Every structure is written in C-alpha cells, then in structure tokens.
Amino acid sequence: MSSVLPPKPKKIEKTIEQLEFKRKDPYAWIKDENWQEVLTNPSCLKDDIKSYLEQENEYTNNIMASTAALQEKLFLSMKEKLVNKETSPELPDGDWIYYSRFNDQQEYKCYYRKSVQNYKEHLLFDPNEEAHQYNYYKIASMTHSPDHKLLAYVEDTKGSEAWQIRIKNLHTDEILPQIILPCSGSFTFSPCSQYLFWIYRDNQGRPTKIYRHHLKSMQDVLIYEEKNPGFFLNIEKSLSNQWIYITANNHDTSEVWLISADTPTVDPICFRKRKENVFYKLIDWDKQFIIYTNENNAYNFKLMRVTIPDQLTLENFDHKYWQEWIKHNPTHYLIEIYAYRNFFLRLERHNVNTQIVITTLDQQEILITGDEEAYVLSLDENLDYNSNWLRYSYQSPTTPRCWYRYHVPTGKKEIIKQQQMPSYFDSKIYQTKRIWTTAKDGNQIPLTLTYRKDIEFNGKTPVLLYGYGAYGYAIDPIFSISALNYIDRGWIYAIAHIRGGSEKGWEWFLNGRKFNKTNSFNDFISCADFLVKQHYTQPKMIVAEGRSAGGMIMGYIANERPDLFAAIIAVVPFVDILNTMSDITLPLTPPEWPEWGNPIKDKHAYKYIASYSPYDNIKKQAYPSILAMGGLTDPRVTYWEPAKWIAKLRDYTLSKNLLLLKINMDSGHAGSAGRYASLKDTAFIQAFALSVLKAKI
C-alpha cells in the first residue's frame, strides 16, 4: 500500500430541504456556481475547486505511477491491432465516392472523395490540422450538400458539446466565413442545397429552436420553437431527398413536423400532434409514409402506413387513415427502419442478437441473421436511394467486423471490407457463449462471456463484468480489441444484459426504469452471484465496470454488495442522482424525469430515488477499490458527481482499499477524442483493474 495520502477536501455543511424531506451535502461546494461558464471556458473554474481536483489527479497519478510500464504495454497491445492507414468502406453517391481514412500515427481520420470519372483523390477535410490548436477537438458529424458543392461539419473544441457548424466550398477548398453557433449538433442541408437547417442550443445546453440558414445571404429564419424543456429536437433529410423531418420528443412521447423538398421555405406542418406516451417517427417509401409507433401497447413497436397526399394538411394524416402494416411482435423488438426506392429494411432484436429483414416492393421478405451464439448485425450507411444493394456489417466478440453488400434482386453477397488484424491473431483460440441467469423476481437475464479456450475454470478466474442498463440502450456483443487485453491475460470478459437496456425488447427497458430502476442494480448483482455459483470465478475476483448511467449501477453495488467485487470502475458515473434530478438548471434534468422520476414535485419519486442514489446511501463499511473518472466540461454527468462521491466514500470506508478520482481537465463526457489518446485512457483503466488483482492471481 502506498504511503501517499489522499487529499482531504474541506466540508461545508449544507442542509437541503425538499418536499418535507431533509438531506445533508457537505461537498456541495465542489459544484461551481458558474458551472455553465466553466463548460465553455474551463479557466473560469473557482480556484479552490480547481486546486482540489488537481490534488486528486496528482494523488491518482502518484498511486498509478507504479503501473506506468503496464499502461504502456496495454496501450501498445491495442495500438498494434489498429491498421496505421485504416480506410472506411467507400460510399458512392451520384458522380462521387466518399470515404474517410486514418493516416499514419494521426489521431483523427481525414475525409476524402473521388470522382467516378477518374478516381483522383480529393482531401475534403483534415481534423488533425484543426486539432493542434486546441486541448480538445472533436468532429460530431459531417455531410456534403445534395449538389456536392458544399461540406458542413460540426465541431466541439471544449468537450462541452457546445457545437459549431462550419461550411466548406468543395470547389475552392475555402472555409466559408459564417460560423453557426451555438448548435446542438443536429443539422441538414435542404434537398435543393440552398439552405441549411440547424438546431439552436440554449444557455442550459438544451435544443430549443430550429433555424433555416440561407447559404448565400447567411440569414437565419426561425421555423420552429420547442417550449417544453423536457423535449429533445432532431432534424434530418430523407434519403429519398423528398422531405425534411423535424422530430420533438422525450423518452415516451414524440411529434413530427414535415417540410417538403418542393417548398423548403414554407412553414413545417405537423404530421400528428403529440399524445402523451405515444412515440412515433416517419419514413417515406413507395408513395406512403411508414409510421413507426408504440401506440396501443405495441411496446416492441409496429409499423403503420398512410398514403402521401398531393396537398399537405393535418387532416390528410388523421389517424383514421392509418393502416397497420407490420404487426407488433412481443418477442422481436423493432429497432430501426430504412427505405430505398426498391426495398424496405427493418433492424430487429431478439434475445440480444440482431437481424435484418428486407421487404421488396412486391412484399416479399428476406431474412439476414447470424450463426454464432452472440453477434451483432448492423445496417451500414448507404447514400444512394436508388441502389439495389443493401450494406451491412457483422461482428461478434470473437469475429472482427466485416462489411458486406447484398444485392436484393439476386441474393448475391459480397465482402466490401474486413477489419484487419495482426497476423498472429487467431479467432479460433477464443470462445464466446451466451448464458442465462435468474433474477430475484424470476426473469431470465442474458450474459455474454468471452474467454480463451485454454483457460482453466477452477472457480478462481478473474472477471471483468460490464453493465449499463438505461435508456433502452442495448450493449451489443461487438468485437473489441480493448477487451482482448483482459482475455489474453486469462480473464473472462462478461457483459450483463440487465433490465433498463433493450436486449430482450423494449419491455426489458420499461422494467428497468423509473420505479422499476432497482431491477437494473439487482440484475447486475444476480449476474455476479451466478458467475460465482457456477464456478467461473469467486468473490473478490470480479472487477465491475460501468459508464455514465451504468456508473449508477457501480455506485449501488459498491453500497450494497462490496463483498462481491475486487474493484469497481466508474467512468463519468451518474452517482449523485437525487441532487441532479432536483436541479432544473442542468441540461438533462427535465428531459430525464420520465426516466428517473421528478423528485421536485413527486414525493414517491423523491423517496424511491433517495433509496438507491449512490451518493446518498454511502455507509460505514469496507468498500472495494474504486476508480472514478470524469470530465471537467461534461454537460451530461457533471464533474462534481464523481468528485463528491469519492470524497464521501473516503469518509465512510472501513477498508484501506484505493479510492481514486481522475478528472480530465480538457474533455467532457466521451473522454479523450483522439484515436490514440482514447486508447491511453483505456490502458489507464485496465492497468488499475489488473493491478488490483495482481496479488490474487
């Protein structure tokens, strides 16, 4: 054990009274009162808070100094599995082919195109040239105008997700003078290429308005304003180039507004007014709008359709004209839909794994699936609406990603690209299996395990157990070069597909949210207990990892079952949930009330959140080793959550196990943005996990 002592932050007693309840928060001062300014200008952070965070970083770095050689080894083992010049699959679009490429030793991929006439490569944009000016740099999205004359991209130079849109003339290679900001990150060109529609981000980091930007005059016209602070906004152009869709939604309810390509300057028209707990979205296909909806308890979603009229009016889309097309399936979750001129696509999920269903114009269905126990099929981007080729990819924890194209009329399948691996990599030495355990209430929970075939199952195998369980986001069993760092050292890499995600359908999500939230936590514990009972491992040989909302699980299991885990890794962990959900100034608080409950107005919600909120339930006991990581400019899970959590844990723990905090002073929710910088973050985390178990292996 290191003789270096951890920082001892000051305490300022604060009592919070809310709905006739009281709670104390001695570390509330770590939240800078001017946090909104800090997000965009980190130098504004108060001196005492900055000093404390720097002390924590110094302490963590001193503790982890002994693992420097291990970190470098882990980093290099991942780096050597990356191709120096990694090129994306090419995307044809009219007379051009678009693609991106990582060049030798560069942190960011460059964007290119070439003409189908001569295949001469043209560099569209090099983020590496921009990134050297900043401590943080990230491109969120990039797209060209339908006429191929302009390129627009959104960039973040703080990590705070306060995006700005830049536009480049592809004929002159000049960056246009206008900088569109502050933007939420969502934008689209009009089908005529004369306008750019973008979403305004207010001072609280919420999308509230949509503007039409005239690219020649640089004038902005407000076309939509969202008054509900709990709603998100999105805007996109249909692949058919016929429509622009504006979607306003929270996690349960949505509303779509339409702009026709023929009249881009006409005010949008509402397709169907929002109705509480009814979610829908649109796509146009075969002279119809296809409606993806959960109406009438279609919790796994179904498809309906309505004919597109010559004149757009609200009456044309009355629900009485809707016809059911694809019925609700209680065992198959309908994830996404895509439309091309001659075929329609559905991406579905059944018991974690995904499948693709193709529907032709004559209503014939073609199914594409996999043959491993655990895998993921993903639909790949295709810019050509008239193409007869479907593009998709396949991967599993033991199978590197492979991109295919499938010719719908003939069934011919071709490989577009394979993820390249070093010559010594042999997928045959690894095993992936899907196992199931029983939750406290009898539900069956899937786990995905990956390991080397030559490991000995003696009940002492170390396990990295990963979980998320929130927002209906499924943790897919992908191929991961970072996971190999554990697996090749004799570990089992396990994914707990707990409730709150959608691995078993949307109902799996509904049964792990709001007043069912503790199901997510107990499912994770059940998975860990099962691995012990089945003699895969033993207590104190499991390292648990969760990120963001998955960090909430890490905080809960630390409080409730510290006996099970050797270490807990919580990256940007949502652990101060009661305080966060009670602060309406934070960007995501109103939109997240459907997910967690509103403790400002609802006593039941307050009491339920208070019963599990990790920060509020720390107790006198022996905690395992814990590493918490955050980002100073993170608008989603603010830096003070992991900072307060670790400070309070040190006040209560009865063990001498490490409680470490690392705050990235130059990044936000996603951590380091660069290709290699992110690998170094991963190597740091892995070195912590490996070092904790080193004496026990």
Spatial separation of the C-alpha atoms in residues 596 and 252, rounded to whole Å: 13
* Beta strands 659-664; 625-631: pairing state: parallel
What pairing do the DSSP bridges indicate for beta strands 302-307 and 288-293? antiparallel
383 exposure class (CB count in 10 Å sphere: 0-12, 13-18, 19+): middle
Distance CA 619, CA 621 (A): 6
Contact between 357 and 344 (Cβ < 8 Å) = no
Q: Tell me the C-alpha distance between 106 and 675, whole Å.
A: 8
Catalytic residue (one of 160, 396, 548, 691): 548
Q: Nearest 10 degrees: CA dihedral of 664, 668, 671, 674?
A: -110
Which among 496, 456, 462 is positioned nearest to 477, based on CA atoms?
496
Is residue 182 reached through a cis peptide bond, with omega within 30 degrees of 0 on the bond before it? Answer: yes
| Closest by CA position to 31, among listed 17, 18, 14 | 14
Q: Are 396 and 352 in contact (CB under 8 A)?
A: no
Q: Long-range contacts for 438-445 (Cβ within 8 Å, ≥24 apart)?
A: 438/526, 438/530, 439/499, 439/519, 439/522, 439/523, 439/526, 440/522, 440/526, 441/519, 443/499, 443/511, 443/519, 443/523, 445/496, 445/497, 445/498, 445/499, 445/523, 445/526, 445/527
Choosing from 476, 669, 672, 681, the catalytic residue is: 669
Task: Please give the C-alpha separations between residue 432 and each of 425, 487, 538, 623, in angstroms, as whole numbers.
Answer: 16, 11, 20, 32
**What CA–CA distance (Å, rounded) separates 161 from 667?**
10
List the Cα angle 338/102/572 in 5-degree steps. Answer: 70
The helix or strand, by DSSP H or E, that contains position 143, with its residue range, turns out to be strand 138-144
Of 527, 551, 555, 528, residue with least CA distance to 539? 528
How far apart, in whole angstroms, are the C-alpha atoms of residue 312 and residue 245? 14
How far does the chain reach from its first CA to its final CA, in angstroms? Answer: 17
Reduced 3-state DSSP string for 217-262 = CCCEEEEEECCCCCCEEEEEECCCCCEEEEEEECCCCEEEEEEECC
Helices and strands (H, E) in the chain, number of each type: 13, 39
Contact 447, 437 (CB under 8 A): yes
d(CA 106, CA 27): 41
CB 305 within 8 A of CB 322: yes
| 371 is an active site residue | no
Task: Taking the CA atoms of 589, 590, 591 and 594 in sequence, report the sign of the dihedral they define.
Answer: positive
Smallest CA-to-CA distance from 45 within 57, 29, 34 is with 34
634 is catalytic: yes
Contact 302, 326 (CB under 8 A): yes
The structure tokens listed for 258 are 């339409």
Examine the residue annotation and report whether 548 is marked as an active-site residue of this protein.
Answer: yes
Element (H, E) at 118: none
Q: Which residue out of 387, 634, 667, 681 is catalytically annotated?
A: 634
Catalytically active residues, by annotation:
548, 634, 669
